[in-house]
Amino acid sequence: MQHANYPLQVGLPSETQQHADIEIAHSTTVVAVRYRDGVMIAGDRRATAGTAVIYDRAEKVLQIDRHSVLAISGSPAIAYEIARILEHSFQYFRRSQLQELSLEGKLRMLSRLIRDNLAMALQGIGGVIPIFALYDLEAPEAENGGKIFFYDALGAHFENVNFATTGSGSIWIRGVLRYLSRFGETPLQEMDERQATITILRLLDTASEYDAATSGYNARAQIFPTIKTVTRTGVETLSNEDLTESYAEAQPVAEAV
């Protein structure tokens, strides 16, 4: 959370240590952009423990239901548990009430789960700062119903209109997203799926260049970032074939020749 500009200074219930600065591991880069058809959300695949890379195929972008996705940064165990509870809760509501949980209901349920985890977060072992992306089916068909929400450590949620990013690598790309959204030749919200994919691949590549906890594309092992789209028709995961083609287009001209 400190890496996401949430400085924490808390008193610990210890006779030997009354106060301490708590730094919570937040090592990853996840990013969401609102594009022409909805929301595209992505994350790198690296899991770290301190300076050690312990896994290079971690899934950080998790589908919750047909129209919502959670991208996680922070403690994987807590984040996966939050995702499981959300998935089961949405499913239970749908089956018991014969209708989908409202957008506000989904947001509040995730807020409560994050707030309930605050004690663990303050101990430095369970901090989670997610990005929640979904498609609002109540929005008129002519409009883009894609929505992106960012949470703080206490569970308050904020809607980010065009983009959101979190994790240790996010500081390297947040300014680029702002620039592209406001001054880009094709603003993020006007990009088609291929343009948005190439943009996100370049952003994650940039983050991996400056942040050791963010992985790039592993050509030898064919390990790509995870990229999902959330549109009116539902959640889709981009295939390795799609990402291979997009990576080829994403390279600088001098390297592609």
**Which positions are annotated as active-site residues?**
28
How do strand 146-151 and strand 226-231 relate by DSSP bridges? Answer: unpaired
Instruction: Please write down the HEC assignment for all residues of 178-220.
Output: HHHHHHCCCCHHHCCHHHHHHHHHHHHHHHHHHCCCCCCCECC
How do strand 19-21 and strand 9-11 relate by DSSP bridges? Answer: antiparallel
Measured CA to CA, the distance from residue 117 to residue 154 in angstroms comes to 9
Query: How big is the CA angle at 142 (ends 138 and 148), to the nearest 5 degrees?
Result: 55
4 in Cβ contact with 129 (< 8 Å) = yes
Phi first, then psi: give them for residue 139, nearest 5 degrees: -70, 145
